[in-house]
Amino acid sequence: MRLDLFQEPIMDAMGNYMTRLSKRQQIVASNLANIDTPGYRTRDISFHATMEELLSQSPIPLRASHVEHNTMSSLAFAPLEPEVFTVSGLPLRADRNNVDLDREMLKLSETSFGFSVMAQLLRGKFRTLASAINDGRA
């Protein structure tokens, strides 16, 4: 079996997801910092929309006449610019601000948890590789 670590689309996808999560963390931090700023509206990043877009994208396979040719299959996981939008449906306070502390705290732990999971999985990937390098010895 050929293990091509740096062409593995799943690693790319995990990396992209982590980048996106850290972007989300920025947005949540920005919402929390502006919790008392008059007129500020809660912002968020669309995850599902971009995910659907990713899944609907069928990569056009390139023809490979040699086993070492790159068929660009990792293009399917190319990072899309995360879309920032203002969240609607949250009740406005008297100062025209609609940051909800509980919502933001939830997003904060959600993001942090997702990030931990990804980091753990990536670590597993590297462990596997390290194990292969060391002939199966830990």
Partner 1 sequence: MGLMTAIEVASSGLTAQRRRLEVLVSNLVNANTTQPEGKEPFRRKDVIFSSVTPEQNFGAAFDLAMSGVRGVEVSGLATDRSEPIKRYEPGHPHADKNGYVSYPNVNAMEEMVNVLSATRSYEANLQAVNSAKDMLQKTLEIIK
Encode 85-102: b = buried (16+ Cβ within 10 Å), e = exposed.
eeeeeeeeeeeebbbbee
Considering only the stretches 1-9, 54-62, 69-77, 121-129, report the one whose residues sit in contact with partner 1 under the rule CB under 8 A: 121-129
Query: Rounded to an integer, what distance in angstroms lies between the CA atom of residue 61 and that of residue 9?
Result: 14
Options 11, 13, 18, 78; binder of partner 1; rule CB under 8 A: 18
Q: Are 86 and 42 in contact (CB under 8 A)?
A: yes
Beta partners for residue 86, in sequence order: 43
Please tell me whether residue 77 binds partner 1 under the rule CB under 8 A. no
Both tokens of 30, joined, read 């920005």
**Size of interface with partner 1, in residues (CB under 8 A):** 35
Options 11, 12, 43, 54; binder of partner 1; rule CB under 8 A: 43
**Closest distance of CB 4 from partner 1, Å:** 19
- Identify which of residues 69 and 123 has a Cβ nearer to partner 1 in the complex: 123
Please tell me whether residue 106 binds partner 1 under the rule CB under 8 A. no
